[in-house]
Structure 1
Amino acid sequence: MIVIWVGIAAVLSRFALHLEDTLQVAARVPGSESDAARRAQSELPAGDAEYAVLVARGIDPRSTTRDAGRLDSLVAAIRTVPLVTAVRAYQGAGDSLLLGDGGTVVLAVLPPVEELPHGAIPLLRDCTRPLAARWAADGVTLRWTGEQALNYDLRRASARDASVAERRALPVTAVILVLAFGTIVAASLPVLVGLLTIVCALGAAGLVGRALPLSLLLQSVVTMIGLGVGIDYGLLMVSRFREAREAGMSRGEAGAVVASRGTRTILLSGMAVMVGFAGLLAVPLEELRSVGFGGLVAVAFAVALATTLLPRLLVLLGPALDWWRLRTPSPVSAGAWQRWGRWVTSRPVAVMVVAGLPLLWLAWHATRLRVRTPRENWLPASLESVAGTEDLRAMGLAALLQRVRVVVRLPDHGDVLSQQGWAAVREVSALLLADRRIEAVVSFARFDSERPPSRLTFAGTPRRARDAYLSEDRRTVLLDAIPTEQATPDVMTAFVGDLRHSLRARPADARDVLVGGLPAFQLDYSKRVAGYLPRVVLFVLAGTFVALGVGLRSVLIPAKA
C-alpha cells in the first residue's frame, strides 16, 4: 500500500506542478442573456466582446507628435502578442471614448472567454513593461485593467494570500500537534497526510482540467480543505493507535483496531463533507463548480490516505512513534470528561438555551445576506488592475468599464438600412438615452433621424466603426450605452434590470434584443447564485441526512445533527 501511494503521489505531482496552465481566470454565466450578448458581439467583424484595457496616463496623442508616436509604439507592441485579435486606439474625433484628461486608453481585443488561456494578461503586461520603464522618467504610467485583468489579479491574489496563510498556519499546527502527542514523529504523520492530500488533489485537478474548465479558485480551496481535513483525519487515526498501544495491544492489534473503528468514523465524516461540496456541482457557474470539485477531491483523498496509507505507516513505525520525545503529555482523565457529560445531560433545557441563543442570533444575520455587486474601494489597492481603474476614474473614463452593450438583431427580411430596421434600432437607442443614468449611446451611426441614411452616406461611414458595431449582413447592431461618471456599479446593475423589464415589449421589427456588458454579467451572476442557493441547501441537508442515516443506522441522530 505504501508503494502504491508513493507511485500515485509521484504521478499526480507532475500534473500539480503544471496546474495553473490548465486553470481559467475568466468568468461567465453560461446560458444567461449577458452570455448570449457576448457571443453575438463576437460575431461582428471587429467585435470586442472580450478585451483588456491599457490605461496610458501622461500620453495625449492630440498634444504632441512625441505622444502620438508613443501611442503608435504601444499599438505595435500589443499587436505582437499572439492572443490579440485586434487593437483599438485613438485615431480621431470618432474615438473620443478612448481619450481622457491627461491620458488615453488602448483596447486589446481578446479571444472568447472560453478560449482565453491563463497567461493572457501576463503576456500583455510583458509586452508593455519595457515601454513603461523607458517612459517612466517623463511621468508616463501604463497599467492593464478591465474585467479580464481584474479577474486575473483577484484570483492570483486570492491564491497567493491563501498560500501565505497556509505557510503561517502550518508551523503553528505542527507545534500544537507536538504539544498534543509529545513526539515529533507522531506529530508529523497528520501533517504528512495533509500535505499528500494537497499534492494528490491538485494533481487530480490538473488532470481533469485538461478536459473540463476549472477556475483558478480551485487552488485555494484544495490547499485549505486538504490541509485542514487531512490533518484532522490523521490526528484521529494516530490518537486511536496510541490509545490502543497504551491499552497493551501489539502494534498489529492496534493497527487492526484503528483500521476497523477509525475507518468507519472517517468514512462517515468524509461522506457528509463531500455531500456538501457535491451540492455546488449543480450550480452552472464554473467558479462554484470548481470550488465544489476541489473540495470533493480533497476530502476524498484525505479519507483514502487516512484509511489506507496511515494505518500501514502506524503499524510499520510502531514504537518509533515515541522517538524524538520533547515532552510527556498529561491528558485530561476520562473521569473529568464523564463528569462533564453527566452535568450537560442532567440539564438539557438550560444547556440548550445557553448554547442555542448565540447560534440563533448568528443564524438570524443570514436573513440580511444580499448577493450584489460590492461597493467601490473594496479591492486591494496594490493590484495593477485596481490602480488602472483608479487611473480611469481620474481621467474621467470610469464609465468605459461599466458600459452596457445592447445587441439588436433584426429579422431576415430587413436590415438596419431599411425603414423598419432603422426604426426598431432607433427605438432602443431612444429608450437608452431617455434614462438619466446614461450619458450617451455609441454605435456606427447616430439614430436621431427618423429615416435611415442613404446607401451613399452609409458607404462614407468609417470602416472601423461599421466593423465594430454592425454585422456584415447589417442585421445585427451593437449599441454601447455609456453611463454617467456618477453611476456606480450598483446603479448600473439596477439599470440593466430596469432596461430588460422595459424591453419585454420589444420593438415589433426587432427579432431579438440582448443586454450585455459587465453590469449585465454582474446581475446575471447574482441571480444565478441566488436562484440555486435554496436547491443547494436542500440537496446538502437531504444528502447529509441520508449519509448519516446509512452510516449510523438511525433516523433520530441524523435529524438532530
Structure 2
Amino acid sequence: MPQPPSAGPPRTGSPPRGVFTALARLTGGRPRLLLAFTLVLLVGAVVLGGGVADRLRSGGSGGVVDPASESSFAAEVLEREFPGARPNLVLLARTGGSVDDAQSARAGAELAAQLADIPLISGVTSYWDARTPALRSKDGTQALIVARIDGDELAAERTLKDRIVPAFDGARGPLEVRIGGSVAVQQEQQTFIADDLIRAELIALPITLIILMVVFGSAVAALLPIGIGVIAILGTNAVLRIITEFTDVSIFASNLTTALGLGLAIDYALLIVRRYREELKGGRAGPDALAVTLNTAGRTVLFSAATVAVSLAAMMVFPLYFLRSLAYAGISVVVLAAVAALLVLPALLAVLGPRIDAWDIRRLVRRRSAPPKERREGEGWARLARGVMRRAPLVATGTLAVLLLLGAPFLNVDFGTADYRQLPTSAESRVVQESVRDDFEGSPTGTVDIVAQDADAAALDTYAQRISTLPGVLRVDGPGGRYTDGERSGPAQPARTSDRVTHLTAVPALEPISAGAKDLVREVRAVDAPFRADVSGTTAALIDTQSAIGRGLPWAVGIIVLATLVLVFLLTGSVLVPVQAVLLNALSLTAMLGAVVWVFQDGNLSGVLGFTPTGSIETALPVLMFCLAFGLSMDYGVFLLSRIKEERDRQPDHASAVVEGIRGTGGVITAAAVVLAVVMVAIGSSRITNTKMLGLGVALAILMDAMVIRTLLVPAVLRLTGKATWWAPKPLRRLHDRFGISEGGPVSAPAAPDAPAGPPGAEQVDPAEPRVAAGTNAPG
C-alpha cells in the first residue's frame, strides 16, 4: 500500500536516544519473533487463568471485615468451640396445611436427619426436633431447618452446589423446600456476576469497536486496541489464579479486571496508534515513527499507568481482603495493559507499517458525499477553550457550584453491608431470606453473638438478664436458659458451654444493618461484665468494618495525594499544577459520590435501573470507587497536562499553550473516556446491585472528568492562575531539571522555512503536526 500523503513538511529529525528509543529498536527489530513469543504466553495465560472464576470468593463475611477486630475474634472462637452455632444454611419448608401435621412432621424430621448425614454439615436444628417457636412461621405453614456448612468459603459453596441443592431443593413429600442462608446468597451472587460479566463483554466489545472505527477511520487501526485489551484481561486472569494460591481474592476482581483491562488498554493503544499514524503521515519512516511514538505517547502511557496503579495500591492499607484483592487485580491489569501497549503494540505497528490505515471506512464515506470543508483539526475544542478562558471567573464559579450541588447528597450517606437484597427479586436465596424476615419471629441467622470467657454461672445469669432488657432484644439464649425482659423464660441449654467459653445469643427484632441494630450492638458492648465478653454477628462486623475503614482512609488518601503531587511535579516542574490536579480530580468525583447516595441509597431511579434500595451503601464500595475513579481521572489529566506543558515550553504565551493543549487532546480524551464509560456501563448492567453501582458510578465520574473538568474547569482555572501556574522555587526547579520527566532531545523536525510569520500563538501551530521540543514531555 502506498504511504499516506504527508500532512505537512517531512519529519526528518532524529529520535532522541534513551530507553524508549532502545525499546523501539527492540520491538521493531524482530517484531514477528516478539509476537510469536506473546502468542505462546497468551496461550499459557488462557490455560492458567481458565479456572480462576471458580477460585474467587464471593465476598462472604470475611471479605469486608477486619480480621483483627472484636467481631472477627469472637467469630473465630465460635467456629472453634461451637462449630454449628452460626448457621449459614437455611432450608425453608412450606406445606399447604400445618407444619405440625403428622405427615409434615415426619417428612421434616427425615430431611433434618438426611442433612446431618452429609459431610461438613454441623449444628443441624429443625423445628420438628427442637420445637423452637422462632423456627415456625407465624401462620404455621412454614418451618425452618438451619445448619452450618463447615470449611472455608469455597468448600462451603461446593458442598451446597454438589450435595445440598440436588438432594433438597424442590418438592420433598408434603413439603416444598427452598434453600437460603448466607452460603446460598453468596453462591447465587457468584453465578449472577459470572453470567453478567460475559454479557457485559458481549455488549462492550462491539460498541467499543464501532467507536474506535469512527475515531480512527480504519478497521485495522481500530482492532489493535481491542487486541491489547484482550491480552491485558487474559494475562490478569492468569496473575489472579497465581495470587489465589497465596491469599483470598474477591469475585468482584473479575469485574474490575474486565473494566480496567479493556478500558485502559484501549486508552493506551488509542494514544499510541494515533501518534504513530500522525508520524507516518508527517513523512517519517516506520522505524523513526515508532521511536518518536514511544518517546512521546509511550512515555505518557508509562506515566499514566503509574498514577492509576498508585491510586489502586492505596487500597492495600485496609485490612479487608475485599479491597486488598481488588488492589492486586487492579495493579496487575494496569501493569499488563501498559506492558502490552509498550511491547506488543509497537511490534504490531512495525509489522503493519502504513497498512495500519487499511480498510479505511472514511474513504467509502467520502466517495458518497461531497468533500468536507477544510478546517483545522481540533478547532472546535480550541474555540471552546478560548470561550471558557474569556469568561474564566464565571465558568469556574458556575462549574464549581454545580459540582458541589451534585455531590451534596453524599453528606447524608449511611453506610451498611451487602445482604440478600443485592440479588434480583427472583433469586431463590433472596426469596427464602425475605420469608424468614417477614414470616418468622426474630431471625435465626441475624443474631447478636456474645462469647464469654471464664464466667461463672451467677455472673452469666445476671449478664444475660441485663442484655434481655435492652430495647430491640426479643430474647437471650444462654447456658442458664432463655431470658425475656429480664426474666428466665426457658430451660437451661448446657450445650452453650465449652470448657471456659460460653456462647450467648441475643435475638433482635431489628434489621441487622439498620441504625437501631447498630445502636443495640453498641449498647451490648457497653454493658459491664466481670468477665471478657466479645460481640460478633452481622451488625457487629459492620461496625468493626466502618472503624477499620475510618482508620485506614487518611493513610490511603495521603498516599494518593502525595504520589499525585510528586508525579505531576516530575511531569510539569510546577508547584501549583500538582495542587490543581489533586483538587480538580477530587471535584470530578463529587457527581459520582452524590449520585451513588441519591440513586442507590435513597432509591431514586430504582425502578428504571432494576434494583432494591436498602437505605445504605456498602461500606467498602465508595473506597474502591474513589481510588478507581481518581486514578482514571489522573489518567486523562496526564494526557492534557503533558500536552499543555509541551506547548508552554515551545511558546511563551500561557493562554495559547492552554488552547493548543486542549486542541491537541480534546478529541483523544473524549474518545478514550467514551470507550471506558461504555465498558463501565456494560459492567453496570449487572443484576447485582453493588456491581451496578460500581459500573454506573465510575462511568459517570469518567464522563464528568473528561467533559466537564477537562473542558471547562481546567482551562478556566489555568487562565485565572496565569503564568504563575508554572512557578517553582529554585531548589525544586533544579530538582526537576535533574530528575524530571523529559524527552531528552528533539523528536520532530524544525518548522519549515516558509512557515507563516507572526507572533507565537495558537494560530501558528498545525495540530496535524505534533512536535516535541527538546527537554519537554509530550503526550501522545
Q: Structure 2 vs 1, CA of residues 199 and 488 (structure 1 numbering), >3 Å: closer, same or farther?
A: closer
The residue type equivalent to 1:123 in the other structure is D
Q: Distance in 1 between matches of 2:251 and 2:418?
A: 21
Shift of 1:371: 1.8
Q: Distance in 2 between matches of 1:225 and 1:117?
A: 30
Shift of 1:172: 1.1
Q: Structure 2 vs 1, CA of residues 175 and 115 (structure 1 numbering), >3 Å: closer, same or farther?
A: closer
Q: Distance in 1 between matches of 2:82 and 2:304?
A: 55
Equivalent positions of 1:462-541 (< 5 A) are 465-467=493-495, 469-471=496-498, 473=499, 475-484=500-509, 489-500=514-525, 502-503=526-527, 506-508=528-530, 510=531, 512-541=532-561
> Match for residue 15 of structure 1?
48
Q: Structure 2 vs 1, CA of residues 318 and 78 (structure 1 numbering), >3 Å: closer, same or farther?
A: farther
Q: Distance in 2 between matches of 1:340 and 1:434?
A: 67
Using the size of structure 2 for normalisation, the TM-score is 0.63
Residues 194-250 of structure 1 show CA distances to partners (whole Å, capped at 9, x for unaligned) of: 111111111101111111111111111111111111111111111111111111122
| 1:424 and 2:465 correspond | no
Residues 49-105 of structure 1 show CA distances to partners (whole Å, capped at 9, x for unaligned) of: 352222222288963343233224423443454332442223545533333331221
The residue type equivalent to 1:226 in the other structure is G
> Match for residue 105 of structure 1?
144
Q: Structure 2 vs 1, CA of residues 213 and 388 (structure 1 numbering), >3 Å: closer, same or farther?
A: same
> Match for residue 82 of structure 1?
119
SS at match of 1:333: coil
1:382 to 414, 426, 429: 426
Q: Structure 2 vs 1, CA of residues 429 and 60 (structure 1 numbering), >3 Å: closer, same or farther?
A: farther
Q: Structure 2 vs 1, CA of residues 96 and 558 (structure 1 numbering), >3 Å: closer, same or farther?
A: same
> Match for residue 299 of structure 1?
334
User: Contact 1:57–1:391 (CA<8 Å) still a contact in 2?
Assistant: no
> Match for residue 560 of structure 1?
580
Query: Which deviates the most, 244-253 or 324-333?
Result: 324-333
Shift of 1:558: 1.9
| 1:333 and 2:376 correspond | yes
Q: Distance in 2 between matches of 1:376 and 1:215?
A: 17
> Match for residue 413 of structure 1?
none
Q: Distance in 2 between matches of 1:126 and 1:3?
A: 46
Q: Structure 2 vs 1, CA of residues 90 and 374 (structure 1 numbering), >3 Å: closer, same or farther?
A: closer
Equivalent positions of 1:448-459 (< 5 A) are none
> Match for residue 456 of structure 1?
none
Q: Distance in 2 between matches of 1:486 and 1:220?
A: 29
Shift of 1:394: 4.0
> Match for residue 61 of structure 2?
27
Q: Distance in 2 between matches of 1:448 and 1:437?
A: 14
User: Contact 2:290–2:346 (CA<8 Å) still a contact in 1?
Assistant: yes
Q: Structure 2 vs 1, CA of residues 339 and 377 (structure 1 numbering), >3 Å: closer, same or farther?
A: closer
User: Contact 1:21–1:118 (CA<8 Å) still a contact in 2?
Assistant: no
1:132 to 141, 160, 170: 170
Identical residues among aligned pairs (%): 26
Q: Structure 2 vs 1, CA of residues 79 and 184 (structure 1 numbering), >3 Å: closer, same or farther?
A: farther
Q: Distance in 2 between matches of 1:335 and 1:204?
A: 40
> Match for residue 199 of structure 2?
164
Query: Which consecutive unaligned segments of at least 5 residues does structure 2 have?
Result: 1-33, 366-371, 582-780
User: Contact 2:188–2:429 (CA<8 Å) still a contact in 1?
Assistant: yes
Q: Structure 2 vs 1, CA of residues 241 and 485 (structure 1 numbering), >3 Å: closer, same or farther?
A: closer
Residues 166-217 of structure 1 show CA distances to partners (whole Å, capped at 9, x for unaligned) of: 3212211111111111221111111111111111111101111111111111
Query: Which deviates the most, 104-113 or 287-296?
Result: 104-113
Residues 469-513 of structure 1 show CA distances to partners (whole Å, capped at 9, x for unaligned) of: 110x2x21111111227887432222112221x23xx322x1x10
Q: Structure 2 vs 1, CA of residues 496 and 291 (structure 1 numbering), >3 Å: closer, same or farther?
A: same
The residue type equivalent to 2:453 in the other structure is R
> Match for residue 69 of structure 1?
106
Q: Distance in 2 between matches of 1:146 and 1:378?
A: 14
Using the size of structure 1 for normalisation, the TM-score is 0.86
Q: Structure 2 vs 1, CA of residues 269 and 19 (structure 1 numbering), >3 Å: closer, same or farther?
A: same
SS at match of 1:399: coil
User: Contact 1:441–1:482 (CA<8 Å) still a contact in 2?
Assistant: yes
User: Contact 1:27–1:287 (CA<8 Å) still a contact in 2?
Assistant: no
User: Contact 1:16–1:199 (CA<8 Å) still a contact in 2?
Assistant: yes
User: Contact 1:38–1:516 (CA<8 Å) still a contact in 2?
Assistant: yes
| 1:287 and 2:309 correspond | no
1:549 to 546, 569, 573: 569
Q: Structure 2 vs 1, CA of residues 23 and 324 (structure 1 numbering), >3 Å: closer, same or farther?
A: same
The residue type equivalent to 1:122 in the other structure is K
Q: Structure 2 vs 1, CA of residues 304 and 190 (structure 1 numbering), >3 Å: closer, same or farther?
A: same
SS at match of 1:106: strand
SS at match of 1:40: helix
SS at match of 1:211: coil
1:314 to 341, 349, 358: 349
Residues 263-300 of structure 1 show CA distances to partners (whole Å, capped at 9, x for unaligned) of: 11001111111111001111100111122221111111
Equivalent positions of 1:76-475 (< 5 A) are 76-79=113-116, 81-93=118-130, 95-100=132-137, 101-111=140-150, 113=152, 116=155, 118-123=157-162, 125-129=164-168, 132-133=170-171, 135=173, 140-328=175-363, 333-334=376-377, 336=379, 337-373=381-417, 379-397=423-441, 399-410=443-454, 421-446=456-481, 465-467=493-495, 469-471=496-498, 473=499, 475=500
User: Contact 1:159–1:217 (CA<8 Å) still a contact in 2?
Assistant: no
Q: Structure 2 vs 1, CA of residues 195 and 513 (structure 1 numbering), >3 Å: closer, same or farther?
A: same
Q: Distance in 1 between matches of 2:286 and 2:50?
A: 37
Shift of 1:442: 1.6
Shift of 1:251: 1.9
Q: Distance in 2 between matches of 1:281 and 1:487?
A: 28
User: Contact 2:471–2:520 (CA<8 Å) still a contact in 1?
Assistant: no
User: Contact 1:162–1:224 (CA<8 Å) still a contact in 2?
Assistant: no
SS at match of 1:439: strand
Q: Distance in 2 between matches of 1:398 and 1:166?
A: 42
Please identify runs of 4+ aligned residues in structure 1 that moved more than 6 A.
329-332, 485-488
The residue type equivalent to 1:74 in the other structure is L
The residue type equivalent to 1:395 in the other structure is D
User: Contact 2:178–2:432 (CA<8 Å) still a contact in 1?
Assistant: yes
Residues 289-317 of structure 1 show CA distances to partners (whole Å, capped at 9, x for unaligned) of: 12222111111111111111101101111
The residue type equivalent to 1:334 in the other structure is E
